[in-house]
Amino acid sequence: MTANLFTPYKLNDTLTLSNKILMAPLTRCMADDDLVPTQQVADYYARRAEAGLIISEATIIRPDGQGYPNTPGLYTPAQINGWRVVTDAVHKNGGKIFAQLWHTGRVAHPHFFGGGDVLSASAQAVEGTVPRMRELVYQTPKAASLEDIKQLVADYAQAAANAIDAGFDGVEIHGANGYLIDQFLHHDSNRRDDEYGQTPENMSRFALEVVDAVIARIGADRTGLRVSPGAYFNMAGDARDRAVFDYLLPALSQRQLAFLHAGIFDDSMQFDYLGGSVSAYIRSVYTGTLVGVGSYTAEAGSAAIDANKFDLLAIGRPFIANPDYVAKVRNGDELVPYAETMLAELI
Ligand code: FNR
Ligand code: 8K6
């Protein structure tokens, strides 16, 4: 009933996945205080190497991208070396792993990087506090200057090069879930009146510049992107956002990315302004490989792939609860249900 998940999938001439199950990126806040992944982190990923592709937990491209404690980075030699231990362990077990490249934008907090500006598209704060750190109220960000934007694009490209240095098979640019790139793509957070704001073309410009800079550095065959056309996390929805993604997604179709990955917690959510679910909307305007995600069981994901709703299935929370998720599904074994208390340790 899930047999179609267990056939190989060719992403491009460089990469073929041994099955269609991806491990979704999952922030675990378990890097050491220099934001270096530890041996426990390597062991955690190695146990999950049977996934067709692991997408790493979101990994910050530079210090001011940090919005949660002990999230790993990819900008110091020690971090690159730490990741090399992880990628070696995954490869040794026959797996493949991409690094998810992250800058949280206005969801960053200076508490984590010793003070200084929080950057975003515009000076529009997100309401609330850092999760589980209620004393850390989100700040009003500084609207990135043209100079800041240039540097950010260069820093994404450098982090991508560092990821390849660290032995990753490629990168997924985190353009989803209300973080920096997504903040340029939604009217809630982008109020700019320069060439990065107001029109779909302008609002897509930063995302496309990052994608193009990463492609120029490591190749489109090793570059994926995650996007959230439906605002649901760290972001308010706006019907005008539809036109932005109507422009962006066909522009991305031209770029021969390894894949595009939906960013959503529950793909049964319907968005009026998208005319349905996030995956159905993306499928209608994007022609390349699409990774579906969001509260899917293996059976429901397999049926969705059968119905051509997307090409690959990413699994998040069940992979936290079941390191051997792929083997269990293949054998029809019962899964351990996910519980939030499991976030306290790496099993
Ligand atoms: C997430 N998710 C997430 N997404 C992302 O792009 N980068 C990340 O670092 C994280 N971190 C993260 C941590 C935890 C604890 C959860 C539960 C989720 C979202 C995740 O990739 C996925 O989209 C959702 O969990 C929905 O898939 P499942 O869990 O329903 O299969
Ligand atoms: C990328 C950083 C993630 C930080 C940890 C997030 C943990 C969240 C776990 C709960 C999952 C449900 C959240 C649903 C959010 C959607 C709101 C409509």
| pLDDT reading at 110 higher than 90 | yes
Q: Is 247 a catalytic residue?
A: no
Closest atom of ligand 1 to 71 CA is 9
Among candidates 302, 291, 309, 294, which has minimal Cα distance to 329?
A: 302
| pLDDT reading at 11 higher than 90 | yes
Task: Give residue-wise pLDDT tens across range 251-299.
Answer: 999 999 999 999 999 999 999 999 999 999 999 999 999 999 999 999 9
What pLDDT score does 226 carry? Answer: 99
Residue 166 has phi, psi (to 5 degrees) of -80, 0
| pLDDT reading at 164 higher than 90 | yes
Contact indicator for 290, 282 with CB cutoff of 8 Å: yes
Question: Which ligand has an atom closest to residue 291 CA?
Answer: 1
Ligand 2 pocket member 70 (CB < 6 A)? no
Category of 312 on φ-ψ map: left (φ > 0), alpha (ψ -120 to 50) or beta: beta
For residues 6-28, average pLDDT? 98
What pLDDT score does 317 carry? Answer: 98
| pLDDT reading at 3 higher than 90 | yes
For residues 38-42, average pLDDT? 98
65 alpha carbon – ligand 2 mean position (Å): 18
Long-range contacts: 217-221, Cβ < 8 Å, 24+? Answer: 217/157, 217/158, 217/160, 217/161, 218/160, 218/161, 218/163, 218/164, 218/170, 218/171, 219/14, 220/12, 220/255, 220/256, 220/257, 220/258, 221/11, 221/12, 221/13, 221/14, 221/15, 221/170, 221/256, 221/258
| pLDDT reading at 184 higher than 90 | yes
Q: Which of 179, 196, 281, 325 is catalytic?
A: 179
Tokens found for residue 242? 């539809």
Task: Give residue-wise pLDDT tens across range 47-99.
Answer: 999 999 999 999 999 999 999 999 999 999 999 999 999 999 999 999 999 99
User: Which ranges in the chain belong to alpha helices (H)?
Assistant: 39-46, 77-92, 146-165, 180-185, 200-218, 241-253, 278-285, 298-306, 317-321, 325-331
Residue 37 has phi, psi (to 5 degrees) of -65, 140
Question: Which ligand has an atom closest to residue 68 CA?
Answer: 2
Number of Cβ within a 10 Å radius of residue 286 = 20
Mutate-to-test residue for ligand 1 from 59, 232, 317, 345, highest number of ligand atoms within 8 A of CB? 317
Tokens found for residue 199? 């029109």
Contact indicator for 215, 248 with CB cutoff of 8 Å: no
Residue 197, amino acid: G
329 vs 26, 155, 165, 227, 322, CA distance in Å? 20, 39, 33, 27, 10
Number of Cβ within a 10 Å radius of residue 113 = 16
Task: Give residue-wise pLDDT tens across range 131-151.
Answer: 999 899 999 999 999 999 999
Whole-number percent of the chain with pLDDT over 70:
100
Ligand 2 pocket member 6 (CB < 6 A)? no
Contact indicator for 109, 141 with CB cutoff of 8 Å: no
Number of Cβ within a 10 Å radius of residue 219 = 16
| pLDDT reading at 1 higher than 90 | no
What pLDDT score does 134 carry? Answer: 87
Contact indicator for 26, 57 with CB cutoff of 8 Å: yes
What pLDDT score does 280 carry? Answer: 98
| pLDDT reading at 218 higher than 90 | yes
Residue 266, amino acid: D
**Cβ partners under 8 Å of residue 170, min gap 6:** 15, 98, 99, 163, 164, 218, 221, 222, 223, 224, 258
Task: Give residue-wise pLDDT tens across range 116-134.
Answer: 999 999 999 999 999 999 8
pLDDT tier at 315, thresholds 50, 70, 90: very high
Alpha-carbon distance 53 to 172, whole Å? 11
Closest atom of ligand 2 to 25 CA is 1
Contact indicator for 241, 273 with CB cutoff of 8 Å: yes
Average pLDDT, the chain: 98
Question: Which ligand has an atom closest to residue 176 CA?
Answer: 1
Ligand 2 pocket member 295 (CB < 6 A)? no
Alpha-carbon distance 143 to 159, whole Å? 22
For atom 10 of ligand 1, which residue has the closest CA? 26
